[in-house]
Amino acid sequence: IQMTQSPSLLSASVGDRVTLSCKAGQNINNYLAWYQQKLGEAPKLLIYNANSLQTGIPSRFSGSGSGTDYTLTISSLQPEDVATYFCQQYNSWLTFGSGTKLEIK
Amino acid sequence: EVKLVESGGGLVQPGRSLKLSCAASGFSFNDYWMGWVRQAPGKGLEWIGEINQDSSTINYTPSLKDKFTISRDNAQNTLYLQMSKLGSEDTAIYYCAIELTTEGLFDYWGQGVMVTVSS
**pLDDT of chain A along its 105 residues, tens only?**
999 999 999 999 999 999 999 999 999 999 999 999 999 999 999 999 999 999 999 999 999 999 999 999 999 999 999 999 999 999 999 999 999 999 999
Report pLDDT for B117.
98
Is residue A21 classed exposed, middle or buried when 0-12, 13-18 and 19+ CB atoms within 10 A define those classes? middle
Residues in chain A whose beta carbon is closer than 8 A to a beta carbon of chain B? 31, 33, 35, 41-45, 48, 54, 86, 88, 90, 93-99
Q: Tell me which chain A residues have a C-beta less than 8 angstroms from the C-beta of B110.
A: 42
Q: What is the pLDDT of residue B102?
A: 87
What count of other Cβ atoms lies within 10 Å of the Cβ of residue B67? 16
Residue A74 contacts residue A61 (beta carbons within 8 Å): yes
- Would you tell me which residues 48-77 of chain B have a C-beta closer than 8 angstroms to some C-beta of chain A? 50, 59, 61
CB contact under 8 A, A96 and B44: yes
pLDDT attached to residue A4? 97
pLDDT at position B47 is 96
Chain B residues closer than 8 Å to A54 by CB = 107
Distance of residue A16 Cα from the nearest chain B Cα, in angstroms: 26
Q: A42 vs B46, B81, B113, CA distance in Å?
A: 13, 18, 10
B27 at A interface, C-beta within 8 A: no
> What's the confidence (pLDDT) of residue A23?
98
Which 3 state secondary structure label does DSSP give B86? coil
The answer to whether the Cβ–Cβ distance between A93 and B47 falls below 8 Å is yes
Alpha carbon of A94: minimum distance to chain B alpha carbons (Å): 7
Is B112–A42 a contact, with Cβ atoms under 8 angstroms apart? yes
Cα–Cα dist A75/B101, whole Å? 26
Mean pLDDT, consecutive 10-residue stretches, chain B (119 aa), reads 97 98 96 97 95 96 96 98 98 96 92 97
Give the minimum alpha-carbon distance from A98 to chain B in angstroms, rounded to a whole number.
5
